[in-house]
Chain A
Amino acid sequence: MVTPLPELGRFAEPALLILVSLSDGPKHGYAIMADVEQGTGRPMGPGTLYAALARLEERGFIEALPPVDRRRPYRLTALGATTVAEQLRELSAFAELGLRRLGQAPR
């Protein structure tokens, strides 16, 4: 079972949000922030974004592309794609378990 994101501590949640944001293609920092905020309704600050980006890059989950007008896009690596898929499956399985116990069907 691949679960490396918890090792990112307080940045595990922003890291997952970033990986999901990059799942449909490369994005630069501002586009990631806007995407996360639109998807979750919650703000992601610039300091949090780059703390998580640095960790994700360090572990090889994402890689930087050449900058365009000072904005540098990032994309998922194969390891990052595997990791986020595994993480989401675990979350989904856990959510289904909870819903079953509540006697409610998953949407």
Chain B
Amino acid sequence: MIALLLRLYPARWRTRYGDEFAALLAERPLGPFDVADVLLGALDAHLHLRGLGSYSEHQRGFPMSLRLGGIAAVIGGALWFGGLMWSMLDPADQDFGAVLAAFGAAALVVGLAGLSAFQARRHPVLVWAAFALPAVGGALATLGLFMLAVVGDQPVAGVYGWALLIIGVLGTIAGSLVFAVATYRTAALPRSGAVILGVSAVISLIGFVAASSQGGTGSSEPVFLAAFGAFAIGWIVLGLQAIRLDRPVMATGAGAA
């Protein structure tokens, strides 16, 4: 993976920094946070070396941070919950709600990457699993949405769009549960946030199964509402905690950009 990441940088940059950068990447396990940060770094190096060298252009850079992860987690939790509730409460306009939820799921994947810096060093496998579940789930859910929009409630190659959508939702919840466990074990962020996210993910999974067993009838809506609401609150709390931890040290006229 290190060689692949290095290849993303311009050749001129690699000539100067490649060897020491590869040595740095090999020092500890890489997590989603590190990979996302290297991707942004590679993009920045291309912009920087392609004549975009005037000082003002440097503001294009966007370092990965807990803050970015926290903001994505808060937005993702709110969109995800809002989208699913919209679909549930307004059956006539389910598409809009589903699209909102898909954007929310994508934001949660970004949030997970942004908040995973410390956990990945001690539990890389756990954190990559936590990242992969919602990432794959999000892709499946998007495919499911596309199928529902194009062919409606008809199977394609024996697969229904709504089934992919459900698998996507379950992937997001399961990945969040794994991430909560990794965060709790590492204590990288306040454990209270990890507990809220973990418990709410379990409640969501139970609620999902309970509601599905009722055939998705109107009586199951309060169960969904409580379960998904708790899940969104879990992400929002964890995101806010990360933002609070990542206060800028230069947020003054002396140098903040």
- Interface residues of B toward A: which range? 35 or more
Q: Give the complex CA separation of A48 and B39 in angstroms.
A: 10
Q: Give the complex CA separation of A14 and B245 in angstroms.
A: 16
Q: Which of A9, A46, A49, A91 has the most chain B CB atoms closer than 10 A to its own CB?
A: A46
| Nearest chain A CB to B20 CB, angstrom units | 4
Asked whether A47 and B44 contact (CB < 8 A) given A9-B60, A90-B254, the answer is: yes
Main secondary structure of the interface of A (DSSP, over half): helix
Contact of B55 among A7, A17, A54 (CB under 8 A): A7
Q: Give the complex CA separation of A8 and B249 in angstroms.
A: 15
Q: Give the complex CA separation of A94 and B58 in angstroms.
A: 25
- Kindly report which residue of chain B lies nearest to residue A32, judged by CB atoms: B24
Closest 10 CB pairs of A and B: A47-B41, A45-B37, A9-B59, A43-B117, A48-B63, A70-B23, A9-B58, A47-B37, A90-B254, A7-B55
Q: Is B48 an interface residue (CB 8 A)?
A: yes
- Interface residues of A toward B: which range? 35 or more
Asked whether, in the complex, the Cβ of B62 is within 8 Å of the Cβ of A70, the reply is no
Main secondary structure of the interface of B (DSSP, over half): helix
* Residues of the A chain whose Cβ atoms lie less than 8 Å from the Cβ of B249: 13, 16-17, 40, 91
Q: Give the complex CA separation of A56 and B257 in angstroms.
A: 16
Asked whether, in the complex, the Cβ of B21 is within 8 Å of the Cβ of A45, the reply is no
Contact of B64 among A8, A45, A67 (CB under 8 A): A45
Contact of A13 among B16, B33, B62, B250 (CB under 8 A): B250
* Residues of the A chain whose Cβ atoms lie less than 8 Å from the Cβ of B36: 45
Asked whether, in the complex, the Cβ of B33 is within 8 Å of the Cβ of A71, the reply is no
Asked whether, in the complex, the Cβ of B20 is within 8 Å of the Cβ of A28, the reply is yes
* Residues of the B chain whose Cβ atoms lie less than 8 Å from the Cβ of A91: 249-250, 252, 254-255
Q: Give the complex CA separation of A72 and B22 in angstroms.
A: 11
- Kindly report which residue of chain B lies nearest to residue A67, judged by CB atoms: B20
5 pairs, A vs B, C-beta closer than 8 Å: A6-B254, A28-B20, A47-B63, A50-B17, A71-B20
Contact with A along B37-51 (1 / 0, CB 8 A): 111111011001000
Asked whether, in the complex, the Cβ of A12 is within 8 Å of the Cβ of B24, the reply is no
Contact with B along A1-13 (1 / 0, CB 8 A): 0010111111111
Contact of A51 among B41, B118, B252 (CB under 8 A): B41
Q: Is B61 an interface residue (CB 8 A)?
A: yes
- Kindly report which residue of chain B lies nearest to residue A30, judged by CB atoms: B27
Residues of A39-84 whose CB lies within 8 A of B? 40-43, 45-51, 53-55, 67, 69-72
Q: Give the complex CA separation of A55 and B47 in angstroms.
A: 13
Contact of B21 among A11, A13, A14, A46 (CB under 8 A): A46
* Residues of the A chain whose Cβ atoms lie less than 8 Å from the Cβ of B27: 30
Asked whether A70 and B22 contact (CB < 8 A) given A47-B40, A91-B254, the answer is: yes
Asked whether, in the complex, the Cβ of A9 is within 8 Å of the Cβ of B245, the reply is no
- Kindly report which residue of chain A lies nearest to residue B250, judged by CB atoms: A13
| Nearest chain A CB to B116 CB, angstrom units | 9
Asked whether, in the complex, the Cβ of A12 is within 8 Å of the Cβ of B257, the reply is yes
Contact with B along A22-33 (1 / 0, CB 8 A): 000000111001
Q: Give the complex CA separation of A71 and B60 in angstroms.
A: 28
Q: Give the complex CA separation of A16 and B38 in angstroms.
A: 20
